[in-house]
């Protein structure tokens, strides 16, 4: 690393490295984030959940959506509809989408996360989570 | 650019490292490579999370999963379950002590709920050996900002923040900087005091281990403000990990042009050197520290002159504590106004405490000034170990005093603690329960100060020794009521006549326990009893009617003090008993009591 010679160079480096701890910053402020939770159990992975998770990560980055936190969960119990994705907006009830393909993922981002309108593929939530 | 989906943070503080967190890091890295996910999952060794009671800690982000007491053999399960299948490993989750249910998200832990992390903001969050992670957290942004201000503007900002020294004295930091700034000289110095000698204290060590760059940055800011080009960190050689992380930070800062000549292309030059202390408590006192750095005996001299006027090699020198410095970058990033809104009227910001003693969550915590002792001990600390009765808490280490039940709702700040007969000190907090004997506690601290007295002045050298002798007499049952008067009188004399802070405060633990627990002292000297049942010389073993006459005790007694016939209650001959306790631990019927 060559010596930085100006305040602007420091600024530029900060912009560049910020992404490296982005994930931790988001985890730290999870309550303000749109949380996209991809079910990553054996069934989900077999149905392509890992690709869907990468897709959400890539899209969030390309579109510079800093308020989206992509994470994974265990099996949500909707194995018939894998890959499943649960989206929780701050202060709202989680919504679960099934059979998520890249196209549907794009729709979820554009219409639901950004636009606030519900898109097809919602699975009626059959349980209540026991989190505190 | 990395596309990590998950970060695994492993505590690399001294405590966790000694319980194999190094192996955990290696194990995780290897297991993740084995499944080919090294580009998706990043393993980071961080500084202390503070929750030392349950270390080693492994935290997984972004879902905030908090695993406690992780062992190297747990690594495989964490990877195969959590990382691959997204299922949390329940048995490693922290359990809510009341409901006994596992808590999956660290945000729900009481330990963290009431804390506010300013000085510790990066500890347990970044890799301390990676300058870019610090920069990503706006690191060196404060220095960059400062370089566009005038020296007096910088000092004014620190003054406005209300920051007071965290090394024990609580002196206003901005004012101290102003003194050093106004003293004109061809060379000035910035010194960071990382001597940290209080028994049970490890705040400064954890900051240096977890976030060394914040100290480097703050020292450079201070150098700019007072007009110094050289910084020195005085650190005890017993802190090898902190030394290593600091060396690594200094080297990286030089490489990036954040230390050295013409920092960030400006006219300002500043560099830092490390000096090692040999671990004498008195060398934490600033004048002794300076003498020690000059290669002289680590003995204090009278003030004035203060270091700000004549310090290292008789040049103006600004000495600040590690935690004081750790607050500086935040003040410039978030503004003095933001900082001054935290805390109480005269004590701004937060304070880091090292919780120790009979408390459930031993560890490192940071709370806003004004938090009550009750919140610290019960909400964050999880209450007293083993459901015992709280008795007292010692703040200020060997220079402080003890606070009791009636003080629990006092908001903690510099002035309130002084008013209650203790002091803030550097942040050690030792909790005592019903089993602690207060004269013995006072004796413990006096042993420390008598040992650490540098011997330069008579009141401290001889006085602490005499105090210790009287306390030894009291706990061994040879004390008389007159000893209590002597203790008080001698304590006051030492306080008034000792040269440095060590001697001046050495008698505080005696005076404070004597004031609050006078009854307990009287019981020792008048009735020759120890109410807490700790002073073995004052206790006698007795066999109660629970005895079934099994003869186990009489067979184990090494001096043959126990007699009795089979199936009949036995008795102990007090004149022969050496109080070794062998009979008590042998008895299966709880028939032997210590009174
Ligand atoms: C016996 C004795 C030991 C001390 N030990 C320390 C220490 O370990 N660390 C520290 O920062 N200050 C220690 N101090 C206080 C320093 O003399 C000095 O006040 C402090 O470093 C100033 O920094 P601050 O204004 O940032 O608190 C000690 C003082 C005395 C009298
Ligand atoms: S008070 Fe004690 S430690 Fe301080 S100078 Fe005197 S003898 Fe040394």
Please give the backbone phi and psi of residue B297, each rounded to the nearest 5 degrees, phi first. Answer: -65, 140
Report the top-level CATH class of B438-527: mainly alpha
- Cβ neighbours of B125 in A, within 8 Å: 21, 24, 28
Distance from CA of A14 to the nearest CA of B (A): 5
Higher pLDDT, A50 or B21: B21
Place of tokens 């997984």: B60
- Select the residue from A7, A46, A130 to test the B interface by mutation, using most B Cβ atoms within 10 A: A7
- Cβ neighbours of A78 in B, within 8 Å: none
DSSP secondary structure code for residue A69 in this structure: E
- Residue among A52, A54, A59 nearest A102 (CA): A52
Residue B460 CA, ligand 2 centroid: distance in Å? 6
DSSP secondary structure code for residue B337 in this structure: H
Nearest CA to ligand 2 atom 8: B454
B156-181 pLDDT per residue, tens? 999 999 999 999 889 999 999 999 99
Residue B312 CA, ligand 1 centroid: distance in Å? 16
Q: Is the pLDDT assigned to residue A122 strictly greater than 80?
A: no
Report the top-level CATH class of B6-108: alpha beta
**% of chain A with per-residue pLDDT over 90:** 8
- Cβ neighbours of B85 in A, within 8 Å: 40-42, 45, 74-75
- Residue among A82, A76, A69 nearest A36 (CA): A69
Q: Is the pLDDT assigned to residue A114 strictly greater than 90?
A: no
Q: CA quadruple B400, B120, B127, B158: dihedral positive or negative?
A: negative
B559 touches chain A (CB under 8 A): no
Q: Cite the residue boundaries of each domain of chain B with CATH code 3.40.30.10.
A: 6-108
Consecutive H or E run containing B191: strand B189-194
Nearest ligand to residue B320 Cα: 1
- Cβ neighbours of B107 in A, within 8 Å: 30-31
- The residue-averaged pLDDT of B18-35 equals 92
Q: Where are the beta strands (DSSP E) in chain A?
A: 34-39, 68-73, 85-88, 95-97, 122-123
Q: Cite the residue boundaries of each domain of chain B with CATH code 3.10.20.600.
A: 350-433
- Cβ neighbours of A62 in B, within 8 Å: none
B429-450 pLDDT per residue, tens? 999 999 999 999 999 999 999 9
pLDDT of the residue at B393: 96
Distance from CA of A120 to the nearest CA of B (A): 25
Residue B469 CA, ligand 1 centroid: distance in Å? 28
Nearest ligand to residue B233 Cα: 1
Indicate the residue of B125, B132, B258 with minimum beta-carbon distance to A17: B132
Nearest CA to ligand 1 atom 8: B196
Q: Cite the residue boundaries of each domain of chain B with CATH code 3.30.70.20.
A: 540-594
Please give the backbone phi and psi of residue B244, each rounded to the nearest 5 degrees, phi first. Answer: -60, -45
Distance from CA of B122 to the nearest CA of A (A): 11
Distance from CA of B370 to the nearest CA of A (A): 25
The reply to whether the predicted model has a pTM over 0.90 is: no
Higher pLDDT, B305 or A114: B305
Distance from CA of B265 to the nearest CA of A (A): 4
Token pair listed for A47? 């149905």
Q: pLDDT grade, residue A132 (50/70/90)?
A: very low
> What DSSP string describes B222-243?
HHHHHT--EEEEEEETT-HHHH
Q: pLDDT grade, residue B61 (50/70/90)?
A: confident
Question: For residue A82, how many other CB atoms are within 10 A of its CB?
Answer: 25
B99 touches chain A (CB under 8 A): no
Distance from CA of A63 to the nearest CA of B (A): 15
Q: Is the pLDDT assigned to residue B350 strictly greater than 80?
A: yes
Nearest ligand to residue B287 Cα: 1
Q: Is the pLDDT assigned to residue B328 strictly greater than 80?
A: yes
B422 within 8 A of B398, measured Cβ to Cβ: no
Please give the backbone phi and psi of residue B357, each rounded to the nearest 5 degrees, phi first. Answer: 95, -145
Place of tokens 């009489």: B554
Contact A70/B5, CB-based, under 8 Å?
yes
Residues in chain B: 595
**% of chain B with per-residue pLDDT over 70:** 99
B422 within 8 A of B512, measured Cβ to Cβ: yes
Q: What gap in Å lies between CA B24 and CA B12, rounded to an integer? A: 10
B49 within 8 A of B124, measured Cβ to Cβ: yes
Q: A13 to chain B: nearest residue by CA?
A: B135
- Cβ neighbours of B87 in A, within 8 Å: 41, 74-75
Q: Please compute, for residue B302, the number of CA atoms within 13 A of its CA located in the half-sphere on the CB side.
A: 4
- The residue-averaged pLDDT of B113-135 equals 93
Ligand 2 environment, Cβ below 6 A: B 282, 300, 453-457, 460-461, 498-500, 502-503
Domains of chain A with bracketed CATH: 31-132 (3.40.30.10)
B69-114 pLDDT per residue, tens? 999 999 999 998 888 887 889 899 998 887 788 887 787 888 888 8
Nearest CA to ligand 1 atom 10: B167
- Residue among B330, B288, B278, B310 nearest B503 (CA): B288
Q: Which residues are within 8 A (CB) of B541 and not within 5 positions of it... i.e. 6 or more apart?
A: B572, B577, B579, B581, B583, B584, B592, B593, B594
A37-73 pLDDT per residue, tens? 888 777 777 788 888 888 998 888 888 888 888 888 7
Q: Cite the residue boundaries of each domain of chain B with CATH code 1.20.1440.230.
A: 438-527
Place of tokens 């002289």: B296
Q: Which fold has domain B131-340?
A: Rossmann fold (3.40.50)
- Select the residue from A1, A4, A44, A56 to test the B interface by mutation, using most B Cβ atoms within 10 A: A4
Q: Which residues are within 8 A (CB) of B524 and not within 5 positions of it... i.e. 6 or more apart?
A: B439, B474, B475, B477, B479, B530, B535, B538
Radius of gyration of chain A (CA): 17
B151 within 8 A of B225, measured Cβ to Cβ: yes
Q: Please compute, for residue B224, the number of CA atoms within 13 A of its CA located in the half-sphere on the CB side.
A: 33
Ligand 1 environment, Cβ below 6 A: B 165-169, 171, 193, 195-197, 281-282, 284-286, 319-321, 324, 426, 500-502
- Residue among B484, B485, B509 nearest B495 (CA): B509
Nearest CA to ligand 1 atom 2: B285
B283-308 pLDDT per residue, tens? 999 999 999 999 999 999 999 999 99
**Mean pLDDT score across all residues of chain B:** 93
Q: A46 to chain B: nearest residue by CA?
A: B85
Distance from CA of B275 to the nearest CA of A (A): 26
Nearest ligand to residue B158 Cα: 1
Indicate the residue of A9, A57, A74 with minimum beta-carbon distance to B3: A57
Chain A residues whose C-beta is within 8 A of a chain B C-beta are 1-7, 9-11, 13-14, 17-21, 23-24, 26-28, 30-31, 39-42, 44-45, 53-54, 57-58, 61, 69-75, 131-132
Please name every residue paired with B364 in a beta bridge, in sequence order, or none if there are none.
Answer: B354
**% of chain B with per-residue pLDDT over 90:** 82
Please give the backbone phi and psi of residue B45, each rounded to the nearest 5 degrees, phi first. Answer: -90, 120
> What DSSP string describes B430-494?
EEEETT--HHHHHHHHHHHHHHH--SSSHHHHHHHHHHHHHHHHHHTT---HHHHHHHHHHHHHH
Q: CA quadruple A21, A24, A29, A31: dihedral positive or negative?
A: positive
Residue B31 CA, ligand 1 centroid: distance in Å? 45
Q: Is the pLDDT assigned to residue A1 strictly greater than 80?
A: no
Q: Which fold has domain B540-594?
A: Alpha-Beta Plaits (3.30.70)
B231 within 8 A of B180, measured Cβ to Cβ: no
Q: Cite the residue boundaries of each domain of chain B with CATH code 3.40.50.11540.
A: 131-340
Q: Is the pLDDT assigned to residue B375 strictly greater than 50?
A: yes
Q: pLDDT grade, residue B1 (50/70/90)?
A: very low
Residue B484 CA, ligand 2 centroid: distance in Å? 24
B9 touches chain A (CB under 8 A): yes
Burial of B419 (0-12, 13-18, 19+ CB in 10 A): exposed
Q: Is the pLDDT assigned to residue A131 strictly greater than 50?
A: no
Q: Which fold has domain B350-433?
A: Ubiquitin-like (UB roll) (3.10.20)
- Residue A87: is the preceding peptide bond cis (ω within 30°)? no
pLDDT of the residue at A96: 87
Token pair listed for B393? 């808490």
Burial of A11 (0-12, 13-18, 19+ CB in 10 A): middle
Cβ contacts below 8 Å, chain A against chain B, sum to 120
Q: Distances in Å between the alpha carbon of B39 and those of A70, B1, B43? A: 16, 10, 10
Contact A4/B88, CB-based, under 8 Å?
no
DSSP secondary structure code for residue A120 in this structure: S
Radius of gyration of chain B (CA): 27
B60 within 8 A of A26, measured Cβ to Cβ: no
Consecutive H or E run containing B273: strand B271-277
pLDDT of the residue at A127: 52
Burial of A70 (0-12, 13-18, 19+ CB in 10 A): buried
Q: Which residue stretches of B286-345 are H helix?
A: 286-293, 322-334, 336-340
Q: What gap in Å lies between CA B368 and CA B360, rounded to an integer? A: 21
pLDDT of the residue at B2: 53
**Mean pLDDT score across all residues of chain A:** 82
Place of tokens 């010389």: B537
């Amino acid at each position: 690393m060559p010596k930085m010679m100006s305040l602007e160079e420091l600024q530029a480096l900060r912009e560049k490295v910020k992404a490296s701890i982005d994930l931790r910053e988001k985890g730290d402020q999870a309550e303000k984030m749109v949380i996209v939770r991809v079910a990553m159990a054996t069934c989900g992975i077999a149905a392509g959940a890992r690709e869907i998770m990468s897709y959400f990560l890539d899209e969030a980055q390309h579109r510079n959506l800093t308020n989206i936190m992509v994470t994974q969960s265990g099996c949500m119990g909707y194995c018939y509809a894998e890959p499943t994705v649960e989206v929780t907006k701050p202060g709202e009830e989680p919504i679960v989408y099934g059979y998520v393909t890249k196209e549907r993922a794009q729709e979820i981002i554009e219409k639901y996360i950004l636009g606030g309108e519900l898109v097809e593929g919602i699975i009626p939530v059959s349980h209540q989570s026991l989190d505190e | 650019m990395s596309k990590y989906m998950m970060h695994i943070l492993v505590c690399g503080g001294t405590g966790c490292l000694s319980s194999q967190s190094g192996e955990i890091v290696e194990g995780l890295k290897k297991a993740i490579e084995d499944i080919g996910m090294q580009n998706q999952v990043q393993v980071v060794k961080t500084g202390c999370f503070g929750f030392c009671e349950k270390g080693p800690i492994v935290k997984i982000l972004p879902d905030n999963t908090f695993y406690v007491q992780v062992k190297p053999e747990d690594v495989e399960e964490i990877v195969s379950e959590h990382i691959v299948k997204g299922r949390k490993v329940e048995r490693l989750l922290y359990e809510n002590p009341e409901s006994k249910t596992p808590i999956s998200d660290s945000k729900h832990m009481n330990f963290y709920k009431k804390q506010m992390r300013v000085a510790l903001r990066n500890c347990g969050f970044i890799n301390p050996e990676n300058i870019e992670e610090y920069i990503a957290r706006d690191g060196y942004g404060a220095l960059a900002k400062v370089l566009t201000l005038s020296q007096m503007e910088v000092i004014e900002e620190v003054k406005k923040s209300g920051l007071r020294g965290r090394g024990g004295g609580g002196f206003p930091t901005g004012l101290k900087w102003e003194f050093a700034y106004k003293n004109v000289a061809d060379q000035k110095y910035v010194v960071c005091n990382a001597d940290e000698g209080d028994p049970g204290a490890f705040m400064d060590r954890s900051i240096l281990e977890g976030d060394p760059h914040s100290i480097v940055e703050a020292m450079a800011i201070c150098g700019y403000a007072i007009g110094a080009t050289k910084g020195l960190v005085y650190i005890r050689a017993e802190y090898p990990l902190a030394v290593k992380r600091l060396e690594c930070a200094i080297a990286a800062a030089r490489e990036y042009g954040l230390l050295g000549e013409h920092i960030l292309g400006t006219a300002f030059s500043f560099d830092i050197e490390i000096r090692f202390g040999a671990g004498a408590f008195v060398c934490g006192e600033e004048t002794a520290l300076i003498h020690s750095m000059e290669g002289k005996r680590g003995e204090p001299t009278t003030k004035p002159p203060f270091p700000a006027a004549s310090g290292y090699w008789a040049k103006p020198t600004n000495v600040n504590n590690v935690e004081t410095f750790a607050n500086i970058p935040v003040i410039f990033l978030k503004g003095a106004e933001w900082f001054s809104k935290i805390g109480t009227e005269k004590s701004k910001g937060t304070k880091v405490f090292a919780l120790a003693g009979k408390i459930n969550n031993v560890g490192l915590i940071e709370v806003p000034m004004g938090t009550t002792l009750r919140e610290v001990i019960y909400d964050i600390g999880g209450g007293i170990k083993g459901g015992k009765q709280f008795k007292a808490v010692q703040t200020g280490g060997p220079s402080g005093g003890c606070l009791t039940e009636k003080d629990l709702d006092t908001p903690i700040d510099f002035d309130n603690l002084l008013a209650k007969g203790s002091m803030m000190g550097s942040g050690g907090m030792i909790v005592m329960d019903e089993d602690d004997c207060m004269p013995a506690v006072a004796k413990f601290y006096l042993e420390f100060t008598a040992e650490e007295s540098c011997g330069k002045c008579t009141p401290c050298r001889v006085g602490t020794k005499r105090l210790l002798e009287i306390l030894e007499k009291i706990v061994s049952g040879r004390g008389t009521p007159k000893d209590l008067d002597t203790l008080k009188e001698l304590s006051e004399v030492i306080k008034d006549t000792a040269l440095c802070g060590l001697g001046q405060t050495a008698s505080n633990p005696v005076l404070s326990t004597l004031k609050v627990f006078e009854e307990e002292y009287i019981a020792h000297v008048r009735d020759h009893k120890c109410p807490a049942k700790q002073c073995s010389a004052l206790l006698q073993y007795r066999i109660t009617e629970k005895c079934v006459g099994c003869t186990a005790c009489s067979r184990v007694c090494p001096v043959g003090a126990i007699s009795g016939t089979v199936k009949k209650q036995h008795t102990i001959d007090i004149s022969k008993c050496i109080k070794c306790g062998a009979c008590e631990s042998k008895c299966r019927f709880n028939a032997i009591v210590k009174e």
